[in-house]
Amino acid sequence: MTHTRIVVSLMALLGTATLACSSSDSPSPSNPPAGGSASAGSGAGTASGSGGMPAGSAGNAQAGGGTGAGGGNMAGGGATAGGGAAGNSGEGGATAGAAGSAGGGGGGAGGGAGTDAMKSAGCGMTKTLPNGTIDISFGGATRKYILRVPDGYDNEHPHRLVFAFAESGASAMSVADRGYFTFATLDSKKETIFVAPDAANGAGSWSKADVELTDAILTKLEADLCIDKSRIFATGFSFGGAMSLALACTRADVFRGVAFFSGADLTGSCTGTLTKPIAYYASQASQDSTGAPMPTSGRVKQAQFAEVNGCTAEPTATTFPASGQAHTCTEYKGCSAGHPTKYCVFDGAHGWEPKDPGQATSWNAPEAWKFITQF
């Protein structure tokens, strides 16, 4: 009897010691420290700070060019595009480690935000570039661009930057007068810098060389202004859409995305095989030219960008609505993280602000702006 009581007492003491060990100050695997790795079956949702692009497939979330924070629980893997943690915060963007769950029913990703921007050299510097028309020497000539820095510009806050390119026959001034294709009107937080370069003839006839002009202007802007280098975008209409397409084909490592209207490869910049993904929005009218040869067609190019972006093919994306029907948009599925791809089509003439039947305002610029501001 006495022997039995001793054994029972020893077992109780051992149980108490085990409980004490499990209640130590070590962090639980289900709540990793900020920037740490989620383990114990939660999908290893690490956050890293390289590249400045929102990502997160295969259990990793990249935090907009800085040090990420908040591994959180991510059952089944890291954040994917459109859900869970995304890299860049700001208007329309999600902060890394905040909002959302990924995979099959795990816990929400949480635990604080990392840095969310790639600051240009101009951050912290006194701005010297004025709003309005500015000259720049390029290719042995003087070229022009029109700059608009928002009211309340803060040289410590990295701003989104949008390049806007005019259509054939139009100038940079006409683009600025149209509110940089109305994006400036839609920029309710007034945090976006807009720039409209002029073509060599001042009338929207662009060439391959204007990719290098864009490089030169961007170098000037980044040295003088506080720009988020992970949120640089291009837009344009018609021939200006062709310039946006040229940048998507040749500068996907610089531009976060493009969102343009009725463009095709009119500069001849996109004849090779695409190798670098980029966030991609384009709209097309049923009466747009398909281009010659066919690989230059905007309709063909959108499918090629969907492919390089890792999206599932959507053969019906270029099925245009019948006369009298509203526009349709294809949001490609399965795209690689940080490279959403959207293609909108409408029945009507070549244009950048089509209206659905019975509607007084266009859907196109708001769709494109929503696409841009998700980052």
HEC string of the chain? CHHHHHHHHHHHHHHHHHHHHHCCCCCCCCCCCCCCCCCCCCCCCEEECCCCCCCCHHHEEECCCCCCCCCCCCCCCCCECCECCCCCCCCCCCCCCCCCCCCCCCCCCCCCCCCCCCECCCCCCCCCCCCEEEEEEECCEEEEEEEECCCCCCCCCCEEEEEEECCCCCCHHHHHHCCCCCHHHHCCCCCEEEEEECCCCCCCCCCCHHHHHHHHHHHHHHHHCCEEEEEEEEEEECHHHHHHHHHHHHCCCCCCEEEEECCCCCCCCCCCCCCCCCEEEEEEECCCCCCCCHHHCHHHHHHHHHHHCCCCCCHHHHCCCCCCCCCEEEECCCCCCCCCEEEEEECCCCCCCCCCCCCCCCCHHHHHHHHHCCC
pLDDT at 297: 81
Q: In this predicted structure, what is the pLDDT of residue 296? A: 56
Q: pLDDT per residue over 363-375, tens digit each?
A: 999 999 999 999 9
Q: What is the structure's pLDDT at 291?
A: 58
pLDDT digits (tens, 9 = 90+) for 120-131: 999 999 999 999
> Which residue positions in the chain have pLDDT lower than 70?
1-115, 290-296
CATH 3.40.50.1820 fits 132-372, yes or no: yes
Cα–Cα distance for residue pair 173/164, rounded to 1 Å? 11
- The one-letter amino acid at 59: G
The predicted pLDDT at position 149 comes to 98
User: From CA 1, how far away is CA 348, in angstroms rounded?
Assistant: 96
Alpha carbons within 13 A on the beta-carbon side of 260: 34
pLDDT score, position 361: 97
pLDDT given for residue 44 in this prediction = 37
Looking at the chain, the domain(s) classified CATH 3.40.50.1820 span 132-372
What's the pLDDT at 115?
53
pLDDT in tens, 156-195: 999 999 999 999 999 999 999 999 999 999 999 999 999 9
Give the predicted TM-score (pTM) of the model: 0.71
CA distance linking residue 157 with residue 370, whole number of Å:
21
